[in-house]
Chains A and B, each alone.
Chain A
Amino acid sequence: MTFSAPPEAPSLAELADPMVDLSTTYAPIYLQLSTLFRRFIVRNQWTVGERIPNQEALAAQFGVNPATVRKAISALETEGLVKCSRRRGTFVIAKPPDAHWYDIATSWSAALRAYDGLAFKLLDDKDVKEIPSRLRAAGSSARRYRRLRRLYRRGRVPLIVEDNYLDDRICQKVDRAELRNTPSIKFVDRLVRIKRADQTLRFGIADGEMSQLLNVPLNAPLAIVHLSVDDEHSLRSFESTAYIRGDTIRMFEPISFAKRAK
């Protein structure tokens, strides 16, 4: 590893009070500001019970119009995080509620339970010749796959859009209604002699379609979980891509230590 002394590295004091260039993104400035202010509250930079800087000072700090700051603050007031009073200023009255976490599986048994407790709606069900963007695999493909797309909800909140492709010969062994009403991975576990199963977690942003299905803003963070299963003949039996609301996910796992030679 090489460390160069950063010639133009900002000092901590500068970083604590950065000149924010609000023009580098296309989101409305008041939304960027309210995101930032919410973050101040989450991180206790603005603590509950404390009065925040007045709107003129904030406007000067971020180089925006005081009306824009007012709009950002009023968004936080609607959320019940701050209270504005004309005489006393604006006070932080609450932190945003903790999200309900959705845990990304780190084992096969957890992957099997990934959709337990969630309501779902079938969005698509059709036969296809091949998996469109097959994940890298050494083995071969099945002749036909059944493609299923489901939208999973927790309570009334849309959480996951899952596209999966299941070897058609496995589908033949299952009652049609059962196939439609059960997360496909359960059949894989029951009916496939698994040689290997691989999962990759990546991150993306919601495009028009995903933002609509998951009811999140355009460009909101998404977690993307790819899962692929090969059978004993190294044939790709199953592939699944789950697009999950990013703000609710977490993946907790132990770091493995090889036995230390003494």
Chain B
Amino acid sequence: MKRKSAKTAAGSKARGQQKRRGNGVDLQLSNATPIYVQLIVHFRHQIETGKWRQHQIIPPLHELAAEFGVTRATVRQAIGFLHREGLLSSRRGRGTEVIGKPHETLWQPVPNTWSDLVKDSDRIEGDVLELARPGRLPEVPQTERGELAPSYHVVRRLLRRGGIPYLVGISYVDRRVVDEVGADIFKTSSLYRVIETSRHFHAVRGDQLISVGTADAELAFLLGIPLSSPIVNVSRWIFNEHDTLIYQSEGQFRSDFVQAARRLR
């Protein structure tokens, strides 16, 4: 392999050494998964399995850093994440205490069945950024067959999981569905649940598209991540039996915990 750049080669070497020093520990998700994510996964596992008991004081930062061969800042980043998740609590002079158990998996699934979409969305929490006056119409790819509804209700939301913002989504719901069920329902129900509630409009088919981008300024601000961090874009188009596009959404996820698991055979 030709060395293209001395700089990246040096980075690679440094990372390799870190791995070796962290030998013997199950910290090998993959070499493309950021170290702090691997640490979060590992620490959560320690708590889940009771290796770190409730109310136990976990080893200090510098010990964990030495154990895994990473910097203290990286360990602090992972611990900070578990703070916000409510699993750990730190007090000056006392160290970091285990105060909770993880109640859901770390990975944010991207389902591909309507029933999972409806079910999963009942568990989400979030803020409505804007209950917008319909502006532009949804953009439908040319491969989709069907027609637009006469008008759409637009909802833009910031969703959280375990207190951590993970998704900024904009959704278009056929205005006639909203007229039927009332706009108030948006405050208490998920959008997929709203469509399931409608008696006149039935979702019968749909597609989704997953792609990758990077966080622009607004998104970085909303999700609390650095500019240009990887973002997973998920777009969905849902049609009724008359081939009318009754729902469309464009979601932008922070990418580190998204997973799309599929059984192929």
Report the stretch among B47-55, B60-68, B74-82, B108-116 that lies at the interface. B108-116
| Interface contact A205-B28, CB-CB below 8 Å | no
B9 to chain A, nearest CB (A): 6
Interface string of A87-110 (1 = CB under 8 A from B): 000000000000000001111100
B76 to chain A, nearest CB (A): 16
Q: What secondary structure prevails in chain B residues at the interface with A?
A: mixed
Q: Indicate whether A253 sits within 8 Å of B208 (C-beta atoms), given known contacts A6-B127, A205-B34, A258-B115.
A: yes
A228 to chain B, nearest CB (A): 10
In Å, the complex CA distance between A218 and B202 comes to: 46
What residues of chain A lie closer than 8 Å to B15, measured between beta carbons? 207-209
A3: contacting residue among B34, B127, B130, B222, CB under 8 A: B127
Q: Indicate whether A246 sits within 8 Å of B264 (C-beta atoms), given known contacts A6-B127, A18-B221, A36-B216.
A: no
Q: Say yes or no: is A172 at the interface (Cβ < 8 Å to chain B).
A: no
B258: contacting residue among A123, A203, A206, A208, CB under 8 A: A203
| Interface contact B209-A250, CB-CB below 8 Å | yes
Q: Indicate whether A208 sits within 8 Å of B10 (C-beta atoms), given known contacts A250-B210, A257-B205.
A: yes
Report the stretch among A67-75, A78-86, A219-227 that lies at the interface. A219-227
In Å, the complex CA distance between A200 and B255 comes to: 14
| Interface contact B262-A209, CB-CB below 8 Å | no
In Å, the complex CA distance between A117 and B48 comes to: 45
Q: Say yes or no: is B207 at the interface (Cβ < 8 Å to chain A).
A: yes
Report the stretch among B85-93, B95-103, B145-153, B223-231 that lies at the interface. B223-231
Q: Indicate whether A255 sits within 8 Å of B207 (C-beta atoms), given known contacts A204-B30, A208-B13.
A: yes
Q: Say yes or no: is B256 at the interface (Cβ < 8 Å to chain A).
A: yes
B28: contacting residue among A5, A132, A211, CB under 8 A: A132
Report the stretch among A24-32, A49-57, A174-182 that lies at the interface. A24-32
Q: Say yes or no: is B188 at the interface (Cβ < 8 Å to chain A).
A: yes
B260: contacting residue among A9, A200, A212, CB under 8 A: A200
Q: Say yes or no: is A194 at the interface (Cβ < 8 Å to chain B).
A: yes
B113: contacting residue among A4, A221, A227, A255, CB under 8 A: A255
What residues of chain B lie closer than 8 Å to A257, measured between beta carbons? 113-114, 203-206
In Å, the complex CA distance between A204 and B30 comes to: 9
Q: Say yes or no: is B217 at the interface (Cβ < 8 Å to chain A).
A: yes
What residues of chain B lie closer than 8 Å to A208, measured between beta carbons? 8-15
| Interface contact B227-A1, CB-CB below 8 Å | no
| Interface contact A209-B263, CB-CB below 8 Å | no
Q: Say yes or no: is B33 at the interface (Cβ < 8 Å to chain A).
A: yes
Q: Say yes or no: is B244 at the interface (Cβ < 8 Å to chain A).
A: no
What residues of chain B lie closer than 8 Å to A119, measured between beta carbons? none
Interface string of B5-33 (1 = CB under 8 A from A): 10011111111100000000010111111
Size band of the interface chain B makes with A: 35 or more
Q: Which of B191-205 contact A (CB under 8 A)?
A: 193, 202-205
Q: Which of A185-221 contact B (CB under 8 A)?
A: 194, 196-213, 215, 218, 221
| Interface contact A222-B32, CB-CB below 8 Å | yes
Q: What secondary structure prevails in chain A residues at the interface with B?
A: mixed
| Interface contact A202-B227, CB-CB below 8 Å | no
| Interface contact A251-B8, CB-CB below 8 Å | no
Number of A-B contacts (CB under 8 A): 224
Q: Indicate whether A198 sits within 8 Å of B261 (C-beta atoms), given known contacts A3-B127, A207-B32, A223-B212.
A: yes
In Å, the complex CA distance between A250 and B31 comes to: 22
Q: Say yes or no: is A140 at the interface (Cβ < 8 Å to chain B).
A: no
Interface string of A1-31 (1 = CB under 8 A from B): 1111110011010011010111011010000
| Interface contact A246-B212, CB-CB below 8 Å | yes
Interface string of A224-245 (1 = CB under 8 A from B): 1001010000000000010100
In Å, the complex CA distance between A103 and B125 comes to: 32
Q: Say yes or no: is B121 at the interface (Cβ < 8 Å to chain A).
A: yes
A216 to chain B, nearest CB (A): 10
Q: Say yes or no: is A169 at the interface (Cβ < 8 Å to chain B).
A: no
B39 to chain A, nearest CB (A): 14
Q: Say yes or no: is A156 at the interface (Cβ < 8 Å to chain B).
A: no
In Å, the complex CA distance between A202 and B5 comes to: 28
| Interface contact A256-B210, CB-CB below 8 Å | no
| Interface contact A1-B122, CB-CB below 8 Å | yes
B152 to chain A, nearest CB (A): 17
| Interface contact B261-A133, CB-CB below 8 Å | no
B contact residues vs A (CB 8 Å cutoff):
1, 3-5, 8-16, 26, 28-34, 37, 107, 112-115, 117, 121-130, 132, 158, 186-190, 193, 202-214, 216-218, 220-222, 226-232, 236, 238, 255-256, 258-265
Q: Would you give 14 A-B contacts (Cβ < 8 Å), ordered by A?
A: A2-B125, A10-B129, A12-B130, A108-B265, A133-B26, A198-B262, A199-B262, A204-B230, A204-B256, A207-B32, A208-B8, A208-B12, A215-B4, A257-B204
